[in-house]
Structure 1
């Protein structure tokens, strides 16, 4: 009898032990958490004389952690960059001495992660500019059609008077535009043509050359005569989709014949454009505007627009708050050269016959 009882107890124990073992799955994954994450950042060329680097803007990041199989790096708000080795080389482009946030993530084989961040100070020196586009107008005849197109007519029916009450009819005839003796000549004339009393030309690089950021230099001699309105300017290449002024306008040089010695630069944005009393305008006096050549310049960076005359900066547009209303200058723009005649707010001298703007060269550096 005792043997039978012991046999029953043994069977019950074996049965219970078997059920308990079956509750543990051999495939149950144990979370692996990285630990001891460290980050070192070396700034290239950093020494006692260059405490924020040698100006190249290059850094080398090295991260280590226990139980990590891969790493990820974020520079400021840029997209995360994965690195199996835990190393990353990065070069900053913003000129000057600036602080940057660098964040590193360590990932384990189970996808668990820890992170660490550091703030570093890096100096980026001024980069030498390279000539990326130019026209020196060395071949007589028509302007190079691989570089220049034309606006023709008076803007009708959609924008008669080109939105300003202008009186000219734009053509591409040699009477109004030609290359001669090493310069581009745009001539505004009083003549009856296509129902208008004045003709002129408006050249543009739209769909041929458009760029974002850079330095523009235009060596020009301006026309004279009350009623003339020559301009060297730029418009956002997205104007056909977003319209004006959302595309942004940059007037490198504008001149009005009725105010002969004053040359101006201006910006037009959704925040302030056209007749807005706050339109940003920089003016300077140029006594020999029509008898001598001057270099009208623009330096366009991510932060500001610097307008210059013969290499001297005269006016800067740098809004404190940069958004789509005040700073639409983050997308490509194209160049425009023209002489308009008349406008909504000024008249043309009845004795005007013709006058010419001469362009010696245009150079764009980046």
Structure 2
């Protein structure tokens, strides 16, 4: 059963408290639901909850898509799900269009649990992600990034979870990451979850933990995860990782389907 949206107060992009009585439906033990999108309304994504990154800059990864805003062909809610759709069509200097939604400026939180139930696109060149970045991002990777789910289409079924920090990142080949294989990620919905506390970050798929990053060093270079972060959902095409083995143009359009996004905080 889908939960109803929770009312909340935000000042400066940070959620202060929730007032809806839906915590009784809470499936996460010991947590309180503080924000969610159940995608119950048809049309464009809820503008009170989501912003967009737009353009065709490559976003630091040499990605091939142009991210659009307020365009139903690339991001829409239908049949109780958010659909992020990548299409083969020219937009400015790019051969593909897609969407990247984020809660920056709308909602951020510090410590808690994120759950996203999703079904992934399939095909060489696709690169969907569920991830988080600091609301106070000044320099990447120093201020931190948490990747709850990444999947590259040429490596079908392998789900990656990672953190990026000043000390640990893929540029230095010190990245902290792990992988779990699921054969049906593009055929069935799975729950991708991150549990974030001052001591560690655990990442799960369907309650199976496969990645842990601990705050052992107690330094900002290793652990910048002590401030509010916001959520990002996107479907990139190509790029240094997603396009490592090229892009199969015969696969389009491709859909990244999200059933719900829920954020819980420690009681």
Q: TM-score w.r.t. structure 1 length?
A: 0.62
* Match of residue 62 from structure 2: 165
164-173 or 340-349: bigger deviation: 340-349
2:22 is matched with which residue? none
Q: Work out which of the two has the higher radius of gyration on C-alpha atoms and give 1 or 2.
A: 1
1:131 equivalent in structure 2: 33
Structure 1 residue 266 corresponds to structure 2 residue 168: no
Residue 130 of structure 2, aligned match among 232, 236, 242? 232
Which consecutive unaligned segments of at least 5 residues does structure 1 have? Answer: 1-126, 155-159
Shift of 1:245: 1.0
| Gaps in structure 2 of 5+ consecutive residues | 1-28
1:25-36 correspondence to structure 2 within 5 Å: none
Q: Equivalent residue for 1:140?
A: 42
Pairwise mapping of residues 276-295 of structure 1 onto structure 2 (< 5 A)?
A: 276-295=172-191
Could you tell me how far 1:286 is from its partner in structure 2?
Answer: 0.9
Q: Which has the higher contact order (CA 8 A, sep 6+)?
A: 2
| Alpha-carbon distance, 1:323 to partner | 0.6
Aligned counterpart, 2:205? 309
How many angstroms does 1:314 deviate by? 1.3
Is contact 2:198–2:215 with CA below 8 Å preserved after alignment?
Answer: no
Contact 1:235 1:333 in 2 (8 A): yes
Q: C-alpha separation between the residues in 2 aligned to 1:168 and 1:352?
A: 15
Once the two structures are superposed, the pairs formed by residues 62-141 of structure 1 within 5 Å of their partners are 128-141=30-43
1:252 Cα deviation from its structure 2 partner? 0.4
Distance in structure 2 (CA, Å) of the matches to 1:136 and 1:290: 20
After superposition, where does 1:193-204 map in structure 2 within 5 Å?
Answer: 193-204=91-102
Distance in 2, Cα, partners of 1:349 & 1:149? 29
C-alpha displacement of 1:326: 0.3
Using the alignment, how far apart are the partners of 2:219 and 2:208 within structure 1?
28
Shift of 1:319: 4.2
The separation in 2 between residues aligned to 1:274 and 1:208, in whole angstroms, is: 29
Distance 1:289 1:276 in 2: 30
Matches of 2:165 and 2:232, distance apart in 1: 17
Decide which of 108, 118, 124 is 1:210's aligned counterpart. Answer: 108
> Please, what is the CA RMSD of the aligned residues?
1.3
- The equivalent of 1:322 in structure 2 is 218
1:365 Cα deviation from its structure 2 partner = 0.6
Q: So what's the TM-score if we normalise by structure 2?
A: 0.85
Q: Is the 8 A contact 2:88 2:249 kept in 1?
A: no
Q: For residues 3-43 of structure 1, what are the alpha-carbon distances to aligned partners after superposition, in whole Å with 9 as ceiling and x for unaligned?
A: xxxxxxxxxxxxxxxxxxxxxxxxxxxxxxxxxxxxxxxxx
Q: How many residues are aligned here?
A: 234
Match of 1:357 in 2: 256
**Counterpart of 2:79?**
181
* Match among 241, 244, 257 for residue 140 of structure 2: 244
Q: Offset at 1:361?
A: 0.4
Distance 2:204 2:172 in 1: 23
